[in-house]
Amino acid sequence: EMQLVESGGGLVPPGGSLRLSCAASGFSFRDNWMYWVRQAPGKGPVWVSLISSTGNTKAYADSVKGRFSISRDNARNTLYLQMNSLRVEDTALYYCVKDTSSGWYDVWGQGILVTVSS
Amino acid sequence: ENVLTQSPGTLSLSPGERVILSCRASQSVTSDYLAWYQQKPGQAPRLLIYGASNRASGIPDRFSGSGSGTDFTLTISRLEPEDFAVYFCHHYGKLQDTFGQGTKVEIK
């Protein structure tokens, strides 16, 4: 069974940092592009960042560019999201997501809550 | 950015009814790269439809997708109790992913 399990969330004050991790299993992690998607309460999902299978291509939503950094360790089957200079508006449930070769998302983690508040 | 607008925001229906959900894009969707997801409270989104009209593995045939260009539709032919949820459309394509704001299907 393909599975993604996020960890590392929590409560952090504005300006603080967090590092999210996502452990993948049940599929060939090294062959897949991976994504972080976030969802604020009562809102639709929002794409945050992506990374190619080799890690050579990375992209970020304008709202997090310069503050967030995506990376991966294919030997450990793990995806990361380093979040710096956090803002109140970054508060959301963060999902680790796998796509198919054609681009739709077929596997989502259970989500990890990030709360930015003083 | 291709903005996806879903309508209506909320639908109040009874089991057994037919449901038609709309997703309208601000720009044409390349190669019908449009997916639909179902989300229940406390759960991650679940893929229903990809490529505008292809059902994902294990999805009942009461769910169907159609459309092209800028107008897409998700139809549930006959609502089952487990179908009451929020539905999102998604324009995918590596560097151009956007989601609609969702349509909630609630029990009348």
Hey, is the C-beta of B35 within 8 angstroms of any chain A C-beta? yes
Cα B56 to Cα A45, A58, B50, B95: the distances in Å are: 19, 27, 7, 22
- Dihedral pair phi/psi, residue B73, rounded to 5°: -140, 140
Hey, is the C-beta of B32 within 8 angstroms of any chain A C-beta? no
Quickly tell me which residue has 């639909």 as its tokens: B36
pLDDT attached to residue B106: 94
- Give the integer Cα–Cα distance in Å for A79 and A26: 15
**Is A56 in a helix, a strand, or coil?**
coil
Hey, is the C-beta of B7 within 8 angstroms of any chain A C-beta? no
What are the contacts of A13-18 at 24+ separation with CB within 8 A?
Answer: A13/A116, A13/A117, A13/A118, A14/A86, A14/A87, A14/A88, A14/A116, A14/A117, A14/A118, A15/A85, A15/A86, A16/A86, A16/A116, A17/A82, A17/A83, A17/A84, A17/A85, A17/A86, A18/A83, A18/A86, A18/A114
Contact flag A103-B100 (C-beta cutoff 8 Å)? no
CA atoms within 13 A on the CB side of B43: 12
Average pLDDT score over residue span B15-22: 96
Query: Which tokens is B77 given?
Result: 């032919």
Nearest to A94 by CA among A113, A70, A80, A107: A113
Partners of residue B100 in chain A, C-beta under 8 Å: 44
Contact flag B94-A103 (C-beta cutoff 8 Å)? yes
Going B93 to B96 to B97 to B101, the CA torsion angle's sign is negative
Partners of residue A103 in chain B, C-beta under 8 Å: 33, 92-94, 97
Hey, is the C-beta of A40 within 8 angstroms of any chain B C-beta? no
- pLDDT band at residue A102 using 50, 70 and 90 as cut-offs: confident
Percent of chain B residues past pLDDT 70, beyond the cut:
100
pLDDT attached to residue B30: 81
- Name which of B50, B97, B99 to mutate to probe chain A: the one with the most chain A Cβ atoms within 10 A of its Cβ: B97
pLDDT for residue A74 is more than 90: yes
Chain A nearest-CA residue for B93:
A103
Average pLDDT score over residue span A53-74: 96
Q: Partners of B36 in the beta sheet?
A: B49, B89
Contact flag B45-A110 (C-beta cutoff 8 Å)? no
Please say whether the beta carbons of B83 and B106 come within 8 A: no
Contact flag A47-B51 (C-beta cutoff 8 Å)? no
- Name which of A2, A53, A58, A104 to mutate to probe chain B: the one with the most chain B Cβ atoms within 10 A of its Cβ: A104
Average pLDDT score over residue span A7-35: 97
Quickly tell me which residue has 């539905």 as its tokens: B87
Quickly tell me which residue has 């997916």 as its tokens: B35
pLDDT attached to residue B93: 79
Cα B18 to Cα A76, B31, B33, B80: the distances in Å are: 46, 28, 25, 10
Contact flag B56-A105 (C-beta cutoff 8 Å)? no
Chain B nearest-CA residue for A36:
B97
